[in-house]
Amino acid sequence: MFEQQLENLYQDLAYKLALQGKISCYPNPAVGCLIVKDQQIISLGFHKFAGTAHAERAAVLSLKERYPETWQDLIKGATAYVTLEPCAHFGRTPPCANLLADCQVKKVVYLSADSTDKVNGKGVAILERAGIQVEFVPSAKCEKLNQDFFALQQQERELPFIKIKIGASLDSKVALPNGNSKWITSPEARSYVQGLRWQADAILASAKTVIVDKAKYNLRYAEFPQIIQEHLAPEEVISPKLVLLDNSQQLTGSEEVFAHHKREDIVIVSCQPHPLASAKEFAPSKFISGFDSHKPEQLKEILKQLKALGINNLLVETGSSLTNALIENRLFDQLHYFMAPKVLGSGLEALRQEVEQTQIADCLQLNLLYSQELSEDNLYLVYAK
């Protein structure tokens, strides 16, 4: 019983390590590694940033740094707990499976399979050929943690991978009746949102949100999560495209948002040809007309058009109307919900479905992928449909 409790503890710690790198390791999967010998944790690591050490190598390097003379003796015969099958290919870093084999660990326990062509059992094969015992202990939460990574590997996807971001109070309000919404969520939550923007190929919003809320949708390096700042210089930041749905052709070009985005990064979608399309200033921008985003079938077609533009990872940050339309029509993959312990009472609701259900069984049931406490006053929940 005690040994099983220890196993569960090691696996849970490896998962928590992986979670630490989720916001910064994109486009790579989040992975954590724990190295144990004689029931003692001798090292740990997680993948922090693409191009840097993977979790297994980070754990080995940490051990080597702390015990430069004896690290090889310490790791020999140890057990490595890894949240994802060790990689088997040479990329920007060498294969982790070979590293563990060279270190002569006794056993590797991995908690989720890697179905990508570059791995898919190849890491296990390398370890087994080296005489290392390999055990697969399927962990639903480790698999869920990288749902977006594996979905983005699917070349045949019809739509982008769509993440909807909501920041709301405990009673699911995004603003007071007078429109005041600054700030419901904490600085830590807003920093994490900067990380989500940095990951995205594009941000989707409505013209109404841009006009009413004066939203900028810009990347603010000073607010980036510290773990990203440690590995990325300001000049290396690539801003996502900005997609604006403007059915009523309300945008005039004078909105504040346009001061924060290059014209070539702007996509405007409207029912009729947009007046800005003929403006010289917006010549580099992309205009898509003939689609009414208020109609579900046309909203889906807009998303297909965005995928055709090379937008694979789409972050939705907008008002409740578009958010609810996407959710009601199941046009999303993940819901990123930042919950603050505030009760606003009356105000603008974050989620409101237009179609009234009469049976609980007919309601949309979301699946919790993972959660984090970003601060004492903000809970971050990620759901899948």
Which residues are identified as catalytic? Answer: 56
CB 125 within 8 A of CB 134: no
CB 285 within 8 A of CB 264: yes
Secondary structure (3-state) at 30: coil
**Is 57 annotated as belonging to a binding site?**
no
Lookup result for tokens 């019809």: 158
**Is 235 annotated as belonging to a binding site?**
no
**Is 18 annotated as belonging to a binding site?**
no
Pairing of strands 107-110, 286-289: unpaired
**Is 181 annotated as belonging to a binding site?**
yes
CA distance 318 to 269: 15
CB 57 within 8 A of CB 173: no
One-letter amino acid of 118:
K
**Is 378 annotated as belonging to a binding site?**
no
**Is 324 annotated as belonging to a binding site?**
yes
**Is 142 annotated as belonging to a binding site?**
no
DSSP 230: T
- Nearest CA-CA partner of 84 in 127, 30, 27: 30
Q: Give the residues across from 225 on adjacent strands.
A: none
CB 202 within 8 A of CB 240: yes
**Is 197 annotated as belonging to a binding site?**
yes
CA distance 347 to 349: 6
**Is 322 annotated as belonging to a binding site?**
yes
CA distance 321 to 174: 12
**Is 323 annotated as belonging to a binding site?**
yes
**Is 209 annotated as belonging to a binding site?**
yes
**Is 319 annotated as belonging to a binding site?**
yes
Which distant-in-sequence residues (6+ apart) come within 8 Å of 31 by Cβ?
Answer: 18, 21, 25, 46, 47, 54, 55, 56, 82, 83, 84
CA distance 73 to 168: 51
**Is 350 annotated as belonging to a binding site?**
no
**Is 317 annotated as belonging to a binding site?**
yes
- Please state, as a whole number, how many other Cβ atoms lie within 10 Å of the Cβ of residue 41: 15
**Is 169 annotated as belonging to a binding site?**
no
**Is 183 annotated as belonging to a binding site?**
yes
CA distance 385 to 175: 25
For the chain, give the number of residues.
Answer: 385
What sign for the dihedral angle of Cα 320, 322, 324, 327?
A: negative
- Please state, as a whole number, how many other Cβ atoms lie within 10 Å of the Cβ of residue 308: 10
Q: What residues form the annotated binding site for Zn(2+)?
A: 54, 87, 96
Q: What residues form the annotated binding site for NADP(+)?
A: 209, 213, 319-325
Q: What residues form the annotated binding site?
A: 54, 87, 96, 167, 181, 183, 197, 209, 213, 220, 317, 319-325
Q: What residues form the annotated binding site for substrate?
A: 167, 181, 183, 197, 220, 317
